[in-house]
Amino acid sequence: MPKLKHEFTGMKILIVDDTPANVDILKKTLTHYGFNILMAPSGEIALKTIPKTQPDLILLDIMMPGINGFETCQRLKADQSTRDIPIIFITAKIETKDIVEGFSVGGADYITKPFCMEELLARIETQLQLHKITKDLKNAILSMHEAKEDSIAKSEFLSRMSHELKTPLNSVLGFAQLLEMSQPPGLTEEQKKHMNLIIDAGKHLLKMIEEVLDVTDLDTGNLKILSGKVSLKPALEEALDAVAPEAKKRQITLINNATTNETLIVKGEKRRIKQILIALLLNAIKYNKEAGNVTVDMSQQDGLVLTSIKDTGEGIPQELTERIFEPFFRQEHHKTIVGGVGMGLTTVKKLTEIMNGKIKVESKLDEGSCFTLELPAFKNTQESLPA
C-alpha cells in the first residue's frame, strides 16, 4: 500500500457526491491515509459550505441532481475565495467531450469509477503538491514586492526562492517522466494519458516560475537587454509556430496579415521580442471565444513599428484596461477559465518599456480586445542584418 507524504497529513478533502456507497468507500480509504474528510451530498450544499470550510482539495461527482459537477466547478472558479482550490472530478463517463468540458470549467484532473485507490491517492498527492508550489510562488513574490530591501538582499531572496520552488517541482516532473520512460507493466492507456497530464502541468508551472523570475529580474535591474537590429517578420513567424498547438487545442484560427512586411526592422533583442509576441498571442488565444480568431497586423508610422494582435473574445471593461498589466491581476467572473498567476502581461509591459516601446490595448465588451505593441524602428534599415 502506498504511503501518504507527511506534509499532506491532516489536509481537508471535501467529497461532493450524492451516492452514499461512493462516499463511504472514499471516506474510509482517505481517512486511513490521514486526510480530514468533509462531505456534501449536492452541488448546492457544497457551494454554501466551501467558502467557510476552505478544503485543500475537492473530489466532485459530475452526475448529481440539481447543480451538476461541471456547473458547481464553474461557480467555484468564478469566486475569488474558492477559485484556487484544486478539483478532481469523479465520473463514470470517459467520453472525450466530458473530459474536455471538465478541464474547460477549471477541473484539475478526473478519475473514473470504480476507483483504483492507489491511482486516486497518487492524483490527490500530485494536485496538492502542484497547489502548494503555486501558493508558495504567489506568497514569495508578494512578499518580495512588499519588502523594502536593497538589491543585494533581493538577489539573495530570488536565488533562495528559485531553489525552493524549482526543487519540489523538478521532483514531481522527474517522477512522472521516470514513469513515462519505464512504462510499468499493467499501466492502462487511461493512466498513461493522466501521467502525461501531470508532466504537462509540471512544465506549465515551471514556465510560470521562469516568467515570475523574469519580472523580478526586471524590477531589480538584473535582466539586461542586448539591443540590436531585429527583423520583425521572422520573430512573429516563430512566435506563431510556438503558440499553434495551443490555438489548435482551443480551436482558435490564427490569421497572419503581416506576411508581406519583410522590411519592418526594430531596435531591440529578438529573444525578448519573441517572448512578448508569444505572451500576447497566448493571451489572445486563452481569452478568446470558442472557435474564435486571432488576427495579427503590422505597420510602420512616425518612426515606430506597430504590431497589433486582435482577438474575438468577450472584451475587457474600460476601467480595467490599465489594471491588466499589474502583477497577479486576473479579471473576475471571466467566462473563460485561464490558468497561471497573472504575470504574462506584466512581463510584456516591462520588457516593452525597457526596449523604449509601449504596449496599448483597446477593447469592446462582447467584441474582443486589440493589443498593439509599439517598438522604435531601426533607423538605418539599409544595413544588412546579422546572420
Provide the pLDDT confidence category of residue 212 given band limits of 50, 70 and 90: low
- The residues with which 266 forms a beta bridge, in sequence order, are 230, 377
Name which of 101, 105, 106, 62 is nearest 84 in CA terms: 106
For residue 255, the model assigns a pLDDT of 96
Most confident of the ranges 170-179, 193-202, 309-318: 309-318
Q: pLDDT > 70: what percent of the chain?
A: 79
| Weakest mean pLDDT among 26-30, 342-346, 353-357, 360-364 | 342-346
For residue 244, the model assigns a pLDDT of 92
**pLDDT, tens only, 101-143:** 888 899 988 888 888 888 888 889 899 988 888 888 888 877 7
For residue 161, the model assigns a pLDDT of 66
The C-alpha cell that represents 285 in the structure block = 488565444
From CA 32, how far away is CA 9, in angstroms rounded? 10
For residue 333, the model assigns a pLDDT of 46
Predicted TM-score (pTM) of the model is 0.53
Distances (CA, A) of 278 to 63, 238, 265, 274: 38, 9, 18, 6
The C-alpha cell that represents 282 in the structure block = 497566448
For residue 224, the model assigns a pLDDT of 74
- Asked if pLDDT for residue 222 goes beyond 70, the answer is no
- Centre a 10 Å sphere on the Cβ of residue 333 and count the other Cβ atoms it contains: 8
Provide the pLDDT confidence category of residue 237 given band limits of 50, 70 and 90: very high
Residues comprising the chain, all counted: 387
Report which residue type is found at 140.
A
For residue 69, the model assigns a pLDDT of 92
**Are 367 and 164 spatial neighbours (Cβ–Cβ below 8 Å)?**
no
**pLDDT, tens only, 46-104:** 999 999 999 999 999 998 989 999 999 999 999 988 999 999 998 886 677 878 888 88
> With helix as H, strand as E and coil as C, how does 291-312 read?
CCEEEEEEEEECCEEEEEEEEC
From CA 10, how far away is CA 8, in angstroms rounded? 6
The C-alpha cell that represents 29 in the structure block = 480509504
